[in-house]
A and B are shown apart, each in its own frame.
Chain A
Amino acid sequence: MLVSALVAGFLAITTFAGVAEGLGAGKSQLTWALSGLAIIAVIYCAFAGRTASRVGMLTGGGDMGPVLTAMAVAASWASFGAFTVLPGLVYENGFDALLPIAGLIGGLVVMQALVAPYVYRSGALTVPEFIGMRFGPVVRGVAALLVVMVALPIMLATLAIAADIASRAYGIAPLPAIAAIAALTATVLAIGGFRAALWAGAFQFLIILAAFLVPLVPASWNHFGNPIPQIAYGPALLEIDRLEAKLAEAGLVDFTTFRPFLRPNMDIDPLNWGLIALVIAAGTAAMPQVAQRFLAVRSAEQSRRAVAWTALFALLIFAALPAYATVFRLQLTRLAASETPTTDLPTWVWNLSATDTLRLHGVSAGMLLRPPPADASSSLPPDVDAALETAASGLSAEPGEPLLMHVFKSNVLPVAVNAAGGDGKLTLSAMELETDALPLAFTSLEEQPAIVAALVLSGTMLAALASLAALAMTVASAVSHDIVGVVTRGRMSERWDVFVTRGAIVATCVVAAVIAYAMKGLDLAVLMLAAISIAAVGLLPMLLAAVWCRRATAAGVLLGLVAGLGASGYYALGTGPYAVTFADTWSSLSNADVEAVASFEESMSVWLQTPDDAARAEAYETVRSMAGGTLVRPGVANWFGIAPAANAVIGLPLALLLSVLVGLIPRHRKSDADDILARLHP
């Protein structure tokens, strides 16, 4: 009821703000006002869910409804990637980049079938505690470390990206942006742990859903005559396909970087497509920040229902996600196909250029206000670089958009067009779109009112906060309840436990903020894949053994963990930095074709015979790139054609097999597994 009232209130205020915009309120004022309101509402929701009990802090209290819980989980698990990385990946890579959708939702179904209700029935407050119930304190401690290894990297990447977006959108420096986001996360969690995050999460999900869909509805209506974006964009796909074929036939695309939008398996072969999606599903099934939140409901049956609702809510967002990428691709392809001269471009091009979201021949109007880092600008021709610098130095600190665009169009763009040597008509390869946060840029593309842009920005920030709250609480509970709990042998009073948890929350947020600031350029997609692999190989076999294998023992589970992580790590390193040695050692298991092997061997011999150090290093780089391939496409160094990103396919079965086989060794000590399993499977 409270959540519904807050959402209705927020949307009513958004509507009033829209009216205020019509009366002359500025974009910056609207953005600050709406974001401020959203944050106040989140803190109010968190305050409504405040608690000082251990169960409330760590699980959410065990009295939440399944739909409310599902909304909070969907807000924290699915939404931030949908606002940031995923639409950009789909825009750039088309079909191939859609694989996380099936993997993430499939993982929820696996979690529902194999993990969530059983963790609930055990009565444990955290995933490591549940594992510890079956396998003792040592395995519990190891599981807690694994939870930190899974949740912390995702938290760092989320924090870094959210701070970057906030810094650009609100015009504040990166350090205060990171500090503010970390402080907000810590505040929400310190009020009431997972319980506060759940109450706030339900509100956040509704605003996130509105922010995700509101820009798409009018765009769908305008472009396709259908207001439901999830089902409207089909005809645009066929038009993109037709236009891309026309551009390719005319030789107007750069074939080294061009990826046809509908063509499957351009970068990932069908086998690895399936394997990586399966790995994402396996990792999702064991994600602690998701699994632990289903402990908030009233029964195991409700935890199953909550997972199903989470999958449905995630689908609402994921089904609309390709529409963002499609509309962007359609507009840019149409522009390239129309061969419009750069002197006669539509307004949306200048809108995107002003925010440095779209660069034409490597330059944008936004670069006049915020020069790119030195390494990025050095890739420009010297005369373009000089023109940019001269134009920027002639502008005041806040020149206003008309003056900015005038200077860009007359002093910078013509120089860049000349340097590119074209005929002045814009080609697809001359347009470079910044794909970090496509939904935010979408409002500029569609020339939508500032209030819609402010709503999308609020939605993005709420998604970041929801995600960070779940991750920070998971790390903090693993540290305070499991690692400290194992060290103190569970002798802490409830009051002290809650105090330590609050301290761990603050410490986690501070540490994450410091690392995220120090390590710039974190790649959310790569960190997510690494975390998912660790969850799939490390946590999933432990959980499956705990729930389903009566004879599984601590020794077997630990041996399985070491072997599984060792095998996956060996494969990831062997197909990455040590690919040359790996290719040489395991050539019999590689599926590389004869030609690839022959050219690899030829490059090897060139490298070995090169005496000069510099030339030798260059020759080695060639050999390494042939051996290693990319994250999703194996090079010569591989086992049976498995891509490095799918390394969990090797570690997971091995870990599971060893966990079961070692348990079959006869032993004399009495096990209490039967009592626990009787509770899990009544």
Chain B
Amino acid sequence: MRLLKIGIGLVAIVAAMASAVGWLDAVVAFPALSTSSAAFVIAAGIALLTNGILGFVVANTADGLKSRFAAAQLATSTVVFVAVVILAIPVLNRALSLFTIGGFPLGYWFVAQGAALLLVMLAFRHEAKTAASEADTADARDAR
């Protein structure tokens, strides 16, 4: 799973960069990404890549440093996810606006409320996961 995350992340970053500078369409028939779309895909790629790499680091670290890397993994995942959500707003707006939800054009709803709602859920999830991770670390320390 970690390797898959790293692989997809790398491919996304390289493909988005190549597409943004116009190299990709010389190789395959793929529409060139706008700069904002490329930024969004690169952010998503970084999210996967860092999560995968830090997952490896946490799994292969001695117990003393494990908690620090686990905290870093959680924090970076959360921060990069924030960036992905923010960059997704202008990129996905046109496509989302083809649909409506409760009378709202979905693109407008996402920028006015949806993205913020997603971020609030992320904040609570981060809080819960960090608390669980710190409890595990404390248990492990007590067991030692």
List the one stretch of A106-114, A170-178, A287-295, A631-639 in contact with chain B.
A106-114
Chain B residues whose CB sits within 8 angstroms of the CB of A230 once the complex forms? 113
Known contacts A101-B111, A105-B116, A234-B109; A112 and B123 CB within 8 A of each other: yes
Chain B residues whose CB sits within 8 angstroms of the CB of A273 once the complex forms? 36, 89-90
Q: Are B90 and A265 in contact (CB under 8 A)?
A: yes
**Chain A residue with Cβ nearest B90:** A270
Known contacts A106-B85, A234-B104, A273-B36; A319 and B116 CB within 8 A of each other: yes
Q: Are B72 and A264 in contact (CB under 8 A)?
A: no
* Min distance, Cβ A606 to any Cβ of chain B, angstroms: 32
Most buried by A among B35, B79, B90, B130: B90
Chain A residues whose CB sits within 8 angstroms of the CB of B123 once the complex forms? 108-109, 112, 307-308, 311-312
Total interface residues in chain B, CB < 8 Å? 51
With A234-B102, A238-B100 known, 10 other A-B pairs at CB within 8 A are: A99-B89, A101-B111, A108-B123, A114-B75, A271-B39, A274-B91, A307-B123, A319-B116, A640-B35, A677-B68
Chain B residues whose CB sits within 8 angstroms of the CB of A102 once the complex forms? 85-86, 89, 111, 115-116, 119
The reply to whether the CB of B30 lies closer than 8 angstroms to some CB of chain A is no
Chain A 255-271 against B: per-residue CB contact (8 Å), 1 yes, 0 no? 00000001011000111
Chain B residues whose CB sits within 8 angstroms of the CB of A265 once the complex forms? 90
Chain A residues whose CB sits within 8 angstroms of the CB of B68 once the complex forms? 677, 681
* Min distance, Cβ B108 to any Cβ of chain A, angstroms: 6
* Min distance, Cβ A406 to any Cβ of chain B, angstroms: 41
The reply to whether the CB of B83 lies closer than 8 angstroms to some CB of chain A is yes
Mostly, the B contact residues are helix
Query: Which of A113, A319, A322, A640 lies in contact with B79, CB distance below 8 A?
Result: A113
The reply to whether the CB of A103 lies closer than 8 angstroms to some CB of chain B is yes
* Min distance, Cβ B51 to any Cβ of chain A, angstroms: 13
Chain B residues whose CB sits within 8 angstroms of the CB of A277 once the complex forms? 86, 89
Q: Are B116 and A264 in contact (CB under 8 A)?
A: no
Docked pose: A612 CA to B67 CA in angstroms: 71
Interface residues of B in 69-124 (CB under 8 A from A): 71-72, 74-75, 78-79, 82-83, 85-87, 89-91, 93-94, 97, 100-105, 107-109, 111-113, 115-117, 119-120, 122-124
Query: Which of B35, B102, B131 lies in contact with A231, CB distance below 8 A?
Result: B102
The reply to whether the CB of B25 lies closer than 8 angstroms to some CB of chain A is no
When A and B form their complex, which 10 residue pairs have the shortest distance between CB atoms, in order from nearest? A234-B103, A234-B104, A270-B36, A270-B90, A235-B103, A308-B123, A271-B36, A113-B75, A113-B78, A681-B68
Docked pose: A318 CA to B111 CA in angstroms: 11
Range, interface on chain A = 35 or more
**Chain A residue with Cβ nearest B36:** A270
Q: Are A304 and B82 in contact (CB under 8 A)?
A: no
**Chain A residue with Cβ nearest B76:** A113
**Chain A residue with Cβ nearest B109:** A234
Query: Which of A95, A262, A301, A641 lies in contact with B134, CB distance below 8 A?
Result: A301
The reply to whether the CB of A305 lies closer than 8 angstroms to some CB of chain B is yes
Known contacts A101-B116, A109-B122; A234 and B100 CB within 8 A of each other: yes
Query: Which of A106, A301, A311, A681 lies in contact with B67, CB distance below 8 A?
Result: A681
Interface residues of A in 572-592 (CB under 8 A from B): none
Docked pose: A328 CA to B108 CA in angstroms: 17
**Chain A residue with Cβ nearest B69:** A681
**Chain B residue with Cβ nearest A98:** B111
Docked pose: A281 CA to B122 CA in angstroms: 14
The reply to whether the CB of A682 lies closer than 8 angstroms to some CB of chain B is yes
The reply to whether the CB of A237 lies closer than 8 angstroms to some CB of chain B is yes
Query: Which of A231, A238, A274 lies in contact with B36, CB distance below 8 A?
Result: A274
The reply to whether the CB of A570 lies closer than 8 angstroms to some CB of chain B is no
Chain A residues whose CB sits within 8 angstroms of the CB of B74 once the complex forms? 113
Docked pose: A400 CA to B94 CA in angstroms: 51
Chain B residues whose CB sits within 8 angstroms of the CB of A98 once the complex forms? 111-112
The reply to whether the CB of A149 lies closer than 8 angstroms to some CB of chain B is no
Q: Are A237 and B91 in contact (CB under 8 A)?
A: no
The reply to whether the CB of A315 lies closer than 8 angstroms to some CB of chain B is yes
Known contacts A106-B119, A108-B123, A308-B120; A281 and B82 CB within 8 A of each other: yes
Q: Are B86 and A109 in contact (CB under 8 A)?
A: no
Chain A residues whose CB sits within 8 angstroms of the CB of B35 once the complex forms? 270-271, 640-641
* Min distance, Cβ B39 to any Cβ of chain A, angstroms: 6
Chain B residues whose CB sits within 8 angstroms of the CB of A99 once the complex forms? 89, 111
Query: Which of A269, A304, A677 lies in contact with B126, CB distance below 8 A?
Result: A304
The reply to whether the CB of A548 lies closer than 8 angstroms to some CB of chain B is yes
The reply to whether the CB of A278 lies closer than 8 angstroms to some CB of chain B is yes
Q: Are A238 and B105 in contact (CB under 8 A)?
A: yes
